[in-house]
Each structure stands twice: as C-alpha cells, then as structure tokens.
Amino acid sequence: QKEVEQNSGPLSVPEGAIASLNCTYSDRVSQSFFWYRQYSGKSPELIMSIYSNGDKEDGRFTAQLNKASQYVSLLIRDSQPSDSATYLCAVVMDSNYQLIWGAGTKLIIKP
C-alpha cells in the first residue's frame, strides 16, 4: 500500500462546477496535510494546509480532513479553466517525520 494515494485522473469538470479531489494516507497518526498545485512544466505551489479534523476554507478552496478515515480532500468551487493543473497531496508521516507526496491528480476544467 502506498503511503499517500491519489487518483491520477484526469478528472474533467465543467467550468463553474465544484471539483472534488481526494487523497488517502496510511499513517494513522499523521498530523500535517498539504495541497499543492502544479501547472505543467512548473514547480508546485502551496494552496492549503490543514491540521485539524473538519473543513478549512480559503476563497474558492476548501480542504476537508477526516483522520479517523485517513483521508483529506480539496474542493474547488466555481471552477475556472485556470484551475486546470495537477493537484498534489502531501502528508507528514509521523512514523518517519518525512513529508510524503502523492502522485497527483490531473484536473481539467472544460469551458
């Protein structure tokens, strides 16, 4: 089992709709979770960090964390074509205190 798993996609969403990206992780006691966005040929950039169970909202982005079920998700409301990118989930594994990355989900927003 991979430590951090994401559906590779591509996930195709119409413009204006809600895009839902999911990530599961193996370390039950992980405490820190991050979503990064990576445009093709560019480096990752931080979108959201979340540390506690529940929802965290920042503009059109909402991160959701459920530690009991070991998943973290990212919702993008009112999706725009500029949101088309690969979204990377990263988790700090308590077992080795390293930041472990998923392979990313490619999101395509169709005008």
Partner 1 sequence: DAGVTQSPTHLIKTRGQHVTLRCSPISGHKSVSWYQQVLGQGPQFIFQYYEKEERGRGNFPDRFSARQFPNYSSELNVNALLLGDSALYLCASSFSGGVGSPLHFGNGTRLTVT
List residues binding partner 1 (CB under 8 A): 4, 8, 31-32, 34, 42-46, 49, 51, 88, 90, 92, 97-104
Nearer to partner 1, 19 or 89 (CB): 89
Smallest distance, partner 1 to C-beta of residue 63, A: 13
Nearer to partner 1, 62 or 86 (CB): 86
Which residue in this structure is represented by tokens 């990752």?
44
Smallest distance, partner 1 to C-beta of residue 42, A: 7
**Cα dist. 88→45, 105, 111 in Å?**
9, 7, 23
Nearer to partner 1, 5 or 60 (CB): 5
Which residues is 6 bridged to in the sheet? 23
Smallest distance, partner 1 to C-beta of residue 7, A: 13
Helix (H, G, I), strand (E, B) or coil at 77: coil
List of residues 6+ apart from 41 with CB closer than 8 A: none
DSSP 8-class letter at 17: S
